[in-house]
Chain A
């Protein structure tokens, strides 16, 4: 459903991403790994429309989306999280989820001002969806807390729930396990698998936690210094000499 062909991103003299290709099938978890500064997040930023790539193509369900503004890409069903949690801190947990559903809501000002039945119905639907996902990630009791006051692991889960209420087809997670303890990582692990199995979304994952990556990925792409290094199933990657070299250095 997503195909990235020969993606390049140049910042002045720096070629941050060089000829990276990637493809994601329906209901599949694909991981991008690589040492720090390899250009993983830059690939994400190009895919989600934060950067217009300087070369290559990105096809989402057969449509070229490179250079499309970020908010339009997310409306197509390609939603991402961030390496550093980006919640609406002063808003409550449930408000965070309501904001995310605005493209489903009738945004007509008048119908909201006079509260037409249609408007109420939609509002109720988005509340129900928010409640469902809060329950799913175990935050229902905290629905009316300010998002900024949650513990870090809860904020991470809220961010994923906030993506899921938009009913995406492809979810891009940028280091979702960063800063989590082992127990929380295991929960996250199950949550991501369940997103794929139960909700039929595809997931693209950037992660440094190898146990998580190896356990849940269907396929892995390795990037080193902006260039694609290897791609394949977890087993193939585990035994790939180039990958071992890149991670451990030349022996």
Chain B
């Protein structure tokens, strides 16, 4: 037992050295036109050795350490309590949501411009994650090309405004509907596919859209992207310093206040907030409707669902279409926020991040997904001071999360339905 532990510990320490020494202990420095390989300073070397020793010690005494840790008082005192009754929980949840909404409304007026901008991005991710939650969490269809619908929404607005001068408020439903149409189009070829095969096809679909946008230079400008996307207007009032369109009036002139560039940022934030809230409510309602239940039924057992008269075609297509619809929303807001879009914003990594949000939050759970969207978007920003290690921290956080709480931050809970006895 003991010798085996030591063997194992030696192996772990060796792996630690093997991984960390080339990464941290060797540096490439440019000397004139060539690169030179230099060793790191002695402090780093010592740190690496100390890390290896710590790993060694932990692995040697792992059993006793873990038993001791198990005997420590519980961090979460509530972990053993009874689940609270549904009514109380719903009340608490509603109260919680109202509080969040109120603070979210006050938020942009008390924080810095950069924070508001980041919050808008968070809300865009919330919308994306809520939409993908329908496809992956509820219907159980693993979609790795979700970013394609986001791109369709964004490009719809960009192209419509560039070629036809269409405003944000018309492009918003247009972008969402066109994205939904693309969702429908993707749905047809993948009707018979499940699991891995479905993931591969959706992955391909995402790439097709991105490559198309990249290469159709005459329409989309290719890698140069599209700029000059207009900001949204409030009842025809523009937020710029000068009016771009004849007949419009600017926001600061109308209210007789001095021009401030944060007005626009706050306005965009509020639009994103309202849209995210609408998405939340709409999907919550859908979940308790026949269509939502049939998504879940299809996820649980496709054969049983079909034997009860649910058409696989209808259920899958509705999940793809509705999921894509909300991605279209998010895309339009994104285009308006950035003012410039290019295919580079819609790479596979985006799909992966949104998927990570859904999995971290807890498949099918809306509140969980919202929390995860906030965490995943803000964490890399908070970790910015660690510069090159921030993605490492992000990755480690995700691994730990999946080890300790594989069901997600807030797993989905079943709705309790009261029945009356029938005679």
Contact = CB atoms under 8 A, between A and B. Distances in A.
B420 A128 contact: yes
B308 A79 contact: yes
Interface string B310-344: 11100000000000000000000000000000000
A113 B285 contact: yes
Interface residues of A, number: 46
Interface of A: 48, 50, 69-72, 74-75, 79-80, 82, 86-92, 94-95, 98-100, 102-103, 105, 107, 109, 112-113, 115, 127-132, 134-135, 140, 143-144, 146, 162-163, 166
A88 B417 contact: no
Contacts of A131: 419-422
Contact of B414 (A86, A129, A146): A146
B120 interface: no
B309 interface: yes
Contacts of A79: 307-309
B422 A128 contact: yes
Contact of B303 (A86, A89, A163): A86
Given A80-B307, A131-B419, 14 more contacts: A71-B312, A74-B307, A75-B309, A86-B307, A89-B300, A90-B300, A91-B296, A95-B296, A98-B293, A102-B310, A107-B291, A109-B291, A127-B419, A130-B419
A71 B419 contact: no
Interface in B369-423: 414-417, 419-422
Contacts of B416: 92, 144
A134 B420 CA distance: 11
23 contacts: A48-B307, A71-B308, A71-B309, A71-B310, A82-B307, A87-B304, A88-B305, A90-B300, A91-B297, A92-B417, A99-B310, A100-B308, A102-B290, A102-B293, A105-B290, A107-B290, A109-B286, A109-B289, A127-B417, A128-B420, A135-B422, A140-B421, A166-B309
Interface of B: 282, 285-286, 289-291, 293-294, 296-297, 300-301, 303-312, 414-417, 419-422
A135 B420 CA distance: 10
Contacts of B414: 91-92, 95, 144, 146
A75 B307 CA distance: 9
A235 B420 CA distance: 44
Given A88-B304, A90-B296, A91-B297, A102 B309 contact: yes
B418 to A, nearest CB: 9
Question: Which one of B300, B310, B414 has the greatest number of beta carbons of chain A within 10 Å?
Answer: B300
B417 A144 contact: yes
A236 B368 CA distance: 63
Contacts of B285: 112-113, 115
Contact of B286 (A72, A88, A113): A113
A122 to B, nearest CB: 9
A88 B296 contact: yes
B419 A82 contact: no
A148 B137 CA distance: 18
B296 A70 contact: no
A128 B310 CA distance: 21
Nearest to A148: B300
Contacts of B419: 94, 127, 130-131, 134, 140, 143
A26 to B, nearest CB: 22
Contacts of B420: 128, 131
Contacts of A69: 311
Chain A to chain B: the 5 pairs with minimum beta-carbon distance, closest first: A132-B422, A88-B300, A86-B304, A131-B419, A112-B289
B180 to A, nearest CB: 12
Given A87-B304, A140-B419, A113 B309 contact: no
Question: Which one of B303, B304, B310, B416 has the greatest number of beta carbons of chain A within 10 Å?
Answer: B304
B419 to A, nearest CB: 4
A166 B421 contact: no
A115 B291 CA distance: 14
Contacts of B304: 82, 86-88
Contact of B300 (A71, A80, A91, A94): A91
A146 B411 CA distance: 14
A229 to B, nearest CB: 28
A171 to B, nearest CB: 12
A91 to B, nearest CB: 6
Contacts of A146: 414
A100 B294 CA distance: 9
Contacts of B291: 107, 109, 112
Question: Which one of A69, A70, A103, A127 has the greatest number of beta carbons of chain B within 10 Å?
Answer: A70
